[in-house]
Amino acid sequence: MAKTSATQTQQGQRTKQLTTLTVFMLTVLTVLTQMPANSAAAAIQAANMHTAATADNNVRPAALAVINAAEALSNQQSAVFQQLLDSTAGAAQRGRRKRLRKRHNDEMRLSRLASVTNEAEAPLEWMNACGYVQEENAEPSIQHMMAKKEAVRTLRKALRSENTTVNALHTINIDDMASWRKHSRKYKFLPTLNRTAKIELHHWHRAMQKFVASFAELGVKQYRWDRKNLQVVSATTHELNALLLSARRTLCEVESAIHAVNPQAKIRTVSRTEMQKKLNFYSNDQARVDKQGVDAKDLRFAKQRYNKYLQHMLQIVRRQMLATRKRVGNRATAKSIASYSDESNYSHWLDLADLEGYDTSAQASYGMSDELPLAA
């Protein structure tokens, strides 16, 4: 009887220990999921101390399982907190860049450009439209992967805004362009974009450079003619100035999207000499400009081509984002949401193969090829 009573006492003590440990495990897990990372570390230390103080061999493995679970949750918490810090830092940097772009763009005025005496030494109007210095040796990170989707959304928002801005300008009339069709061959040098094309950021960047250069050249000539013959700045010049600023803002947004896709991307800038050879306006004849100002056909086609290019860019971005959403939805239906890792969610914001010039060998770094086929 005494032996049976002792055995029952030992079993009761062991059951009590296991019950206590179970409550302790639940407490640790609750603390880890609700408290900061430093609290998780404290819980791990407490579990270690409890294990060391427990001599029972049956209890020790369960306590070790608690420690392993606690350490895993602690590591996951640290990653989440680091991700939040990176995200906050990225948002602050994007805000700073936005302010820099606004201040840098505000300094671009036709009056300032017209006062330049030596154009060869003047900075290019289409170079560094954003006004910030690219970080050297920038490496892709979770922050960059998260920024890709945001970059396309920002680009879509900017294109929508610029479309509204251009559509509100009516001094240069482009409503009846059909009657000017016979002159369209003259303006083959101005960029055009097929609305069924895919997102080609480097191609768009090259086209925006040409539009910035076009509005700068026509605007400066018209401004000088106004000051000489009218002594006031005409409404046409004001509209050319607005178009110049719009093209520079669009150029900056495209450039920012390129760096979001690939932080190490090389931006190709057309030289002034090469650009002047490409721009084949009637107003290149200075004697003609001195008599009547900038040719009306140059104004119409420059504005109309820019307006159409903006519209088609916006349509392409919208269509691509909608197609991406549908693909992601189909994948989510085929697989359970739990099977998707955080990395797959970030990297599949947009199929990189949809971006012209994407180098599949660089997929591990989420980059784009630096050398892309650029249309003249």
| 259-274 pLDDT tens trace | 888 888 889 999 999 9
Note the Cα 288 to chain centre separation in Å. 43
Mean pLDDT, range 63-68, rounded to an integer: 58
pTM of the model: 0.64
Residue identified by tokens 């925006």 is 208
Q: Output the pLDDT for position 193.
A: 96
Q: Which two tokens stand for residue 320?
A: 């691509």
Q: Which amino acid is at 259?
A: H
Of 140, 135, 275, 139, residue with least CA distance to 207: 275
Distance CA 311, CA 298 (A): 20
Alpha helices in 54-182 (DSSP H): 59-106, 110-114, 142-167
78 pLDDT exceeds 90?
A: no
Residue 187 vs residue 341, higher pLDDT: 187
Distance CA 300, CA 171 (A): 10
Mean pLDDT, range 312-319, rounded to an integer: 96
Q: Which two tokens stand for residue 20?
A: 């206590």
208 pLDDT exceeds 80?
A: yes
Range of lowest pLDDT (55-59, 209-213, 333-337, 341-345): 341-345
pLDDT tens track for 268-292: 999 999 999 999 999 999 999 999 9
Mean pLDDT, range 59-68, rounded to an integer: 56
